[in-house]
Copies of this chain bind each other. A is one copy, B any other.
Amino acid sequence: MSNNKKEMVVTPWEVSGEIDYDKLIENFGTNKLTDELKQKLAKHAGYLHSQLKRDVFFSHRDLDWWISQYEAGNKVGLYTGRGPSGDVHLGHLLPWIFTKYLQDAFDADLYFQMTDDEKFLLKENLTLEQAIEFTYENALDVIACGMNKGKTFIFSDTEDISHIYKLGLKVSKKITLSTAKAVFGFTDSDNIGLTWYPALQAMTCFLQSDREKKNVPCLIPAAIDQDPYWRITRDVAEKLGYYKPAQIHGKFLPGLQQGGKMSASQPETAIFTTDNPDIAAKKVVAAFTGGQQTIKLQKELGGNPGICNIYAYYYYLFEEDDKKLQEIDRNCRSGSLTCGECKAKLSRMVKTFLIDFQKKREKAKDSLNDYFIK
């Protein structure tokens, strides 16, 4: 790998290179999340979430409309999901934690899609049985994020297909192969399952409306790479008599190593929720930082939090207190904080977080079934 910036690639299947989020807003034709909208969310939630303050969620489509529907006294809904092809890591939890915040703020039902069919169709060596196993494993992580029982409807595309196939068919009838090819880059070498699948990911935007026999405005909190799916959905929504889904787009949690997002396919870059907490702590200690090569140089020149993954973890997830975060930034730049100290503190926080999360995850096993669609 050269030191040149790698070209940015952001699609539902690949996220790589140096991510320029302003450029994504421009490329994808979305809107920047304004302070005014953030304050509206904060008003309904009772507080401004750190992921809003820090621009982890940074872009949207029609969020203002979705909030105004709620403010007019209408029921509103949420939809997000997961491609279950492996264990869940902190990068996956990021938007789910924010989704829980939205669920509480707007008293919203959440439809959570496990796209085990897509993952099976996409990955040469993944069996369907394995993908389905990950559905149930990953659902424990969703529940452990504190999603509200009775208002959260997790479903597996394969195991719960009877709830979604008909609506998927109606959506699929409105999407031509040409459109799917243009949006997702499908080619004629792709399999006929994969080219069908976008209908199911689009369908979920209308699932609550379909089940409740009334139009419920849907908001999708998700990482921005999934945006192409909703572009298609927005095109077909009105033809089917539904509202276009609103969206709120999140950034990717950086990996522990240099470059790219946290990625399950490179385990050394990722902290999994199922990692042994001590092993996870060691991964943190081995992470890439923005510090100098030696303690001596660090004390002389200071480090650069702007390119530091350890700092990113404080920023994204582990230090919600703004003052303390600023202190880390200041002390790093001045050279009074060494990478060793900074990593040690984060690794303890990660360990504590995992021990707690794993307890919740274990407890979720008792009520797993209660969270699935009926």
Contact = CB atoms under 8 A, between A and B. Distances in A.
A192 B201 CA distance: 13
Number of copies: 2
A177 B196 contact: no
Interface residues of A, number: 34
A121 B177 contact: no
B193 A173 contact: yes
Interface string A149-166: 000000000100110011
Contacts of A180: 192
Contact of A188 (B121, B177, B192): B177
A186 B195 contact: no
Nearest to A189: B176
Given A161-B161, A162-B161, A162-B162, A193 B169 contact: yes
Contact of A198 (B188, B190, B192): B192
Interface string A296-338: 0000000000000000000000000000000000000000000
A15 interface: no
Interface string A167-209: 0111011111110110000111111111110110000000000
A341 to B, nearest CB: 51
Contact of A192 (B165, B166, B187, B199): B199
B192 A128 contact: no
A173 B191 contact: yes
A354 to B, nearest CB: 34
A177 B190 contact: yes
Contacts of A190: 176-177
A120 interface: yes
A193 to B, nearest CB: 3
A178 B193 CA distance: 13
A128 B166 contact: yes
B176 A192 contact: yes
B177 A192 contact: yes
A121 B192 contact: no
Contact of A193 (B120, B189, B199): B199
Interface of A: 117, 120-121, 128, 158, 161-162, 165-166, 168-170, 172-178, 180-181, 186-196, 198-199
22 contacts: A120-B169, A120-B173, A121-B169, A121-B173, A158-B166, A158-B169, A161-B165, A162-B162, A168-B193, A172-B191, A172-B193, A172-B194, A172-B196, A176-B189, A176-B190, A177-B187, A177-B191, A177-B192, A180-B192, A193-B196, A193-B199, A195-B195
